[in-house]
Structure 1
Amino acid sequence: MKTTFKISEQVQSPLNEIGLLAWSLMAHSDLLPELNVVGGGIPGDPGPDTPYPEPTEPGGPTVPDEPPPAPVA
């Protein structure tokens, strides 16, 4: 038994609109610099090279009163 399938000219698969939007934004990233996030990260957040301010609390880190118990084998 032989079965043939014909796809009519009128029936087409829907476009991948999300992929098309992503590629179009990447292609025109020089026109919209606020959308240029190719390097990663969140727009408006400081980059990894941005120095963070020193903590405002005086003193050193908190140290426990006694050491944790030794592991038992």
Structure 2
Amino acid sequence: MRTKFVMVRLNEVEYEQLRRYAKRWGISMAEAIREAIRNLINFERTISIPLEDGSMLVINERGQFVIKKSKD
């Protein structure tokens, strides 16, 4: 299989949340991003990943990352 390179632009908050997610599951940032993209392609819908602080990392069909804060 050939390897293709992709650049992902994340803001500081998105980066930190994704880094925490990767650390919690013991995977690299690249693997966390690949996992999110695989889920998005496989399900063709918005993916929501719960984060430690109760907020959600939401990835829409276009691959855009959004952090949804909890309303507590």
Superposed pair shares fold, TM > 0.5: no
Higher RCO, 1 vs 2 (CA within 8 Å, ≥6 residues apart): 2
Between structures 1 and 2, the one with greater strand share: 2
Please say which structure displays the higher CA radius of gyration.
1
Higher percent of residues as helix: 2
| TM-score, scaled to structure 2 | 0.26
Q: Normalising by structure 1, what TM-score? A: 0.25
